[in-house]
């Protein structure tokens, strides 16, 4: 073999080796792809996704499906460059920087734990929103989650305390408590009426100076709902708050006579507040692809996601804007009636 041929052979081998090494190199990106869908009025592992006890329920039909996004990568399990390249070439997949999913300040485990908590809160908010829409009354309890060490509430208000009133005014939600405290001058005594175990007592706490000149006592709270009947939701290993809208619609469907879907396969996404406001989510493009693959013909998208959704909505999937639970429920009525004047997504 000539020296020239040998040189070319060695050079080619080195290029190939570098290519292989480069393709296997770990990169700080996450691949987002369409995840599984679950019918909120159906079953998972032969168990109802939504179970309601101590209240009459009605048969349902069709599907009101939540949609998810699957991901590859993240701290401790980074993808290789070849996987990222394949993702960039796939129109149904998104490749995003790792820190957009896993902020540097939090570990992958912490993110997963936060998603689990958000899912639980989403289920409570969805139940509250559904009952509000149906005119079914329920109670709300504001409880103490934590107190900041060294702050006025530390050692005076305890985890699990249920706050009944503040300065003699009945507590309705966490925002009411925060607003009352912030409206006082630093150094002012504020009286919390709380239930602690079986005891009800008044606890006096002095406000202190907080951020932006607003008073605080160093208190973290959580709203807990007192529903007149039990609503249980089970979807397996799914986290995050984005299924709120579909949970709420599923609960409404089970609590009302007749089928809200008219037998059609409907999917959607969006966070939900107890008042029924629908909020934006991530991964809308991948969620629409998952919905289409699952057989959905209509997709509810939060208003704030409409512009993005319009760019990648799959053929055969009708996009319907959902700003509130009420709007989504009325849209389902129109779909059942065969009407075409549905709330439409428009580019901004």
Active site residue ranges? 242, 287
- For 2, the token pair is 């000539």
Q: Which of 220, 300, 307, 232 is nearest to 266 (CA)?
A: 300
- For 100, the token pair is 């957009």
| 210 DSSP 8-state letter | -
Going 104 to 105 to 109 to 113, the CA torsion angle's sign is: negative
| 173 DSSP 8-state letter | S
- Where helices occur in the chain by DSSP H, the ranges are 3-24, 81-89, 98-101, 108-134, 174-182, 244-255, 284-293, 306-310, 325-336
Q: How far apart are CA 42 and CA 48, in angstroms?
A: 6
Q: Residue 114 region, left (φ>0) first, then alpha (ψ -120 to 50), else beta?
A: alpha
Q: Which of 210, 123, 217, 120 is nearest to 163 (CA)?
A: 217
Q: How far apart are CA 159 and CA 175, in angstroms?
A: 18
State whether residue 14 is helix, strand or coil: helix
Each as own residue / partner, the long-range contacts of residues 338-341 (CB below 8 Å, 24 or more positions apart, any chain) are none
CB-CB contact of 36 with 14 (8 Å)? no
- At residue 250's C-alpha, the angle toward residues 246 and 256, to 5°, is 145
């Amino acid at each position: 073999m000539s020296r020239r041929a040998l040189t070319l052979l060695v050079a080619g081998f080195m290029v190939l080796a570098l290519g292989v090494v480069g393709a296997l190199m770990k990169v700080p990106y996450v691949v987002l792809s369409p995840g599984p869908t679950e019918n909120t009025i159906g079953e998972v592992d032969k168990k109802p996704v939504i179970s309601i006890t101590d209240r009459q329920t009605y048969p349902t039909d069709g599907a009101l499906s939540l949609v998810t996004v699957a991901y590859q990568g993240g701290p401790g399990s980074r993808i290789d460059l070849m996987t990222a390249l394949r993702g960039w070439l796939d129109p149904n997949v998104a490749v995003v920087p790792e820190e957009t999913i896993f902020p540097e300040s939090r570990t992958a485990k912490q993110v997963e734990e936060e998603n689990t908590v958000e899912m639980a809160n989403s289920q409570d908010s969805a139940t509250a929103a559904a009952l509000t829409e149906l005119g079914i009354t329920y109670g709300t309890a504001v409880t103490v989650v934590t107190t900041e060490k060294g702050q006025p509430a530390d050692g005076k208000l305890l985890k699990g305390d249920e706050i009944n009133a503040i300065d003699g005014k009945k507590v309705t939600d966490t925002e009411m408590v925060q607003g009352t405290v912030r409206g006082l001058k630093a150094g002012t005594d504020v009286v919390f009426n709380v239930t602690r175990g079986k005891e009800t007592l008044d606890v006096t706490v002095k406000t202190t100076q907080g951020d932006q000149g607003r008073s605080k006592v160093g208190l973290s709270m959580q709203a807990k709902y007192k529903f007149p009947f039990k609503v249980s939701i089970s979807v397996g290993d799914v986290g995050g708050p984005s299924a709120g809208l579909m949970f709420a619609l599923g609960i409404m469907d089970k609590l009302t006579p007749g089928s809200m879907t008219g037998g059609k396969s409907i999917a959607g996404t969006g966070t939900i507040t107890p008042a029924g406001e629908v909020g934006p989510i991530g991964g809308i493009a991948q969620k629409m692809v998952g919905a289409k693959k699952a057989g959905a013909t209509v997709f509810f998208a939060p208003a704030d996601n409409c512009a993005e959704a319009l760019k990648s909505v799959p053929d055969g999937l009708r996009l319907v804007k959902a700003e509130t639970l009420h709007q989504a429920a009325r849209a389902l009525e129109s779909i059942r009636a065969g009407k075409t004047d549905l709330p439409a997504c428009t580019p901004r």
